[in-house]
């Protein structure tokens, strides 16, 4: 049984919620560029120890997860070294953040049996709002290509629309597993046709 952590902050991303069942029970989740910790709260409330990395001391101070369940790591991962070298996690979660040089490290940080859950902005976003710089927008298929060492179970590359059918956000999203057995690397094709 899990105990929700009460908080008035923003809810976890629908994509993260949808795929969080892939995280092995009770195992550690890493949230990269975690901000004020909406995904840390989501996973801690489901019984996972959590680790959050962010460069903002103020954001980390606002994370409302008990210290015995949450490790906060203050680090500038764009201009400094990766603060958790060699560590692997049952889940690596990234939303609304892109630093291309870090993509291989993030993929490598997924433990065998673990999952990468990633969602961020893609080309086209500049037509509807920020971020608008190409440096912060994934190119078509870029996230999928970065995850080739993993087994992709879900991937989206497109846009969301408002109630009138106008695009509101351009995104790429992925949920990808690192199999326990490397021989299981074959892409997931859904239930077999019998």
- Across the chain, which has 194 residues, the per-10-residue mean pLDDT values are 39 93 96 94 95 94 88 94 96 90 95 94 62 70 88 82 66 88 54 40
**Tokens standing for 112?**
């065998």
Report the chain's C-alpha Rg in angstroms: 17
Q: Is residue 166 part of a domain?
A: yes
**Tokens standing for 181?**
């057995």
Q: Is residue 82 part of a domain?
A: yes
Q: Is residue 84 part of a domain?
A: yes
Q: Is residue 94 part of a domain?
A: yes
Q: Is residue 177 part of a domain?
A: yes
What is each CA distance from 110 to 15, 30, 31, 90, 166, in whole angstroms?
18, 9, 12, 6, 36
Q: Is residue 1 part of a domain?
A: no
Task: Establish how many alpha carbons lie within 13 A of residue 183's alpha carbon, considering only the half-sphere containing its beta carbon.
Answer: 0
- pLDDT at site 183: 63
Q: Is residue 2 part of a domain?
A: no
- pLDDT at site 193: 39
Range of the domain at 53: 14-181
- pLDDT at site 42: 95
Q: Residue 139 maps to which CATH number?
A: 3.40.50.150
> Into how many domains does the chain fold?
1
CA atoms of 94 and 87, how far apart (whole Å)? 16
- pLDDT at site 2: 34
Prediction pTM value? 0.83
């Amino acid at each position: 049984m899990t105990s929700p952590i009460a908080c008035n902050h923003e809810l976890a991303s629908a994509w993260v919620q949808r795929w969080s069942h892939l995280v092995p029970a009770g195992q550690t989740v890493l949230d990269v560029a975690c901000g004020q910790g909406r995904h840390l709260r989501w996973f801690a409330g489901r019984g996972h120890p959590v680790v959050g990395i962010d460069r903002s001391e103020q954001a980390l101070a606002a994370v409302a997860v008990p210290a015995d369940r949450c490790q906060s790591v203050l680090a500038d991962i764009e201009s400094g070294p990766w603060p958790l070298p060699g560590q692997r996690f049952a889940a690596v979660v990234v939303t609304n953040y892109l630093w291309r040089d870090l993509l291989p490290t993030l993929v490598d940080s997924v433990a065998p049996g673990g999952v990468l859950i990633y969602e961020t902005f893609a080309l086209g976003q500049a037509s509807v709002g920020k971020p608008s710089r190409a440096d912060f927008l994934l190119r078509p298929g870029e996230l999928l290509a970065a995850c080739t060492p993993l087994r992709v179970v879900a991937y989206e590359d497109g846009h969301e629309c408002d109630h009138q059918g106008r695009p509101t956000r351009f995104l790429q999203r992925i949920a990808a597993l690192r199999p326990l057995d490397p021989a299981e690397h074959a892409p997931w094709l859904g239930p077999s046709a019998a």
